[in-house]
Amino acid sequence: MDSRGSCRDDSGLNLDLALKVKEKYGTVQKYPGSGERRTNTPQIISETEAEAVIETTPSNFESGEPGLANIKESLSAKRHVVTANKGPLALAMPALLELASHTGVQLRFSATVGAGTPFLDLASKCLPGEKILGIHGILNGTTNYILTRMDEGSLSFQSALVEAQKKGYAEKNPANDLRGLDTAAKIVIIANWVLKHRISINELKITGIENITPRRINAARKSGARIKLIGRLTETQASVKPEEVPLDDPVCVPGSLNALSFSTRHVGDVTLIGRGAGGEETASAIIRDLVDIRSEYSI
Ligand SMILES: NC(=O)c1ccc[n+]([C@@H]2O[C@H](COP(=O)([O-])OP(=O)(O)OC[C@H]3O[C@@H](n4cnc5c(N)ncnc54)[C@H](OP(=O)(O)O)[C@@H]3O)[C@@H](O)[C@H]2O)c1
């Protein structure tokens, strides 16, 4: 379904056709035979017999809606949920995890942190049994691109932002990225999932990059560092703010890359670097979650 309607076929949708219909008419409701104009998502979720719901509505950090209601409805109706939507998790992750556990289904969200780059899977699948003491890194490609261009291209904040928008690295309304909310949401998800800290975004101290000046960028450069928007988690603290990152820190990556370092008790620091956004990357993570659920539940 999309914002204007839905389509349904109990024997399976023809995805190529659904995509063509969406491209041509702007909504899947024109899908032959079964398209519907109504957009009462909770009702659709409870009425269909799907075992899993994929929730990818836009991230809303104020109310979490419409994703929050969609996820609650799905979990309550015993549907596994795979989501790329950070809003509901940033605001209500502890309650949603509890609901999933109560109804005996899975809530998966690999795409929310790093899109296709498996930051969450690295922690849960490659470091099981290891004590993760903390994490720090760059979790937002838009801000990293802007800070990189301010540094390497000697651009002002505004010019770097306009360039990022022209190149498709920044959205038309980039406020959630620039103010640090997108990074903060990811920190909340890692805190809850990896460190089992039951926190929400309202408990974080968040500083964005809007006030970073070329002067501050130059000062960092002179001391052998770069200004980066860093999300940081320790056993007792969670923060998002611009920091001076030494060049020899592996998370000091350029352009729109993301990088996350896990500090562990026995293995030392483990760092993963990759792209943190993109439609195909996000879809890849969603498929990964579905395959995981399938192998666990044989649905
Ligand atoms: N793209 C990425 O790189 C990326 C990476 C990681 C996570 N994410 C997250 O993944 C989610 C989707 O991202 P996107 O880039 O695909 O966003 P998008 O292009 O804005 O797509 C959002 C989709 O949700 C639909 N929608 C909006 N409101 C709805 C409603 N009330 N009921 C039903 N459907 C509704 C839209 O329908 P219409 O087509 O009718 O507008 C559209 O199909 C977001 O939460 C985003 O933060 C994206």
Cα–ligand 1 centroid distance for 58 (angstroms):
4
Task: For residue 174, give the amino acid letter.
Answer: P
d(CA 259, CA 244): 15
For tokens 């290891």, name the residue. 130
- The predicted structure's pLDDT at residue 35: 65
β-strand 107-108 against 80-83: which pairing, if any? Answer: parallel
Kind and range of the H or E element at 206?
Answer: strand 205-206
59 lines ligand 1 (CB under 6 A): yes
Ligand 1 centre and the CA of 243: distance in Å?
Answer: 31
Cα–Cα distance measured from residue 107 to residue 74, given in angstroms and rounded to the nearest whole number: 10
pTM as predicted: 0.95
Q: Is the CB of 64 under 6 A from ligand 1?
A: no
Q: What is the pLDDT along the chain (299 residues), one digit of tens a residue?
A: 999 989 988 888 999 999 999 999 999 999 998 766 766 888 888 888 899 999 999 999 999 999 999 999 999 999 999 999 999 999 999 999 999 999 999 999 999 999 999 999 999 999 999 999 999 999 999 999 999 999 999 999 999 999 999 999 999 899 999 999 999 999 999 999 999 999 999 999 999 999 999 999 999 999 999 999 999 999 889 999 999 999 999 999 999 999 999 999 999 999 999 999 999 999 999 999 999 999 987 65
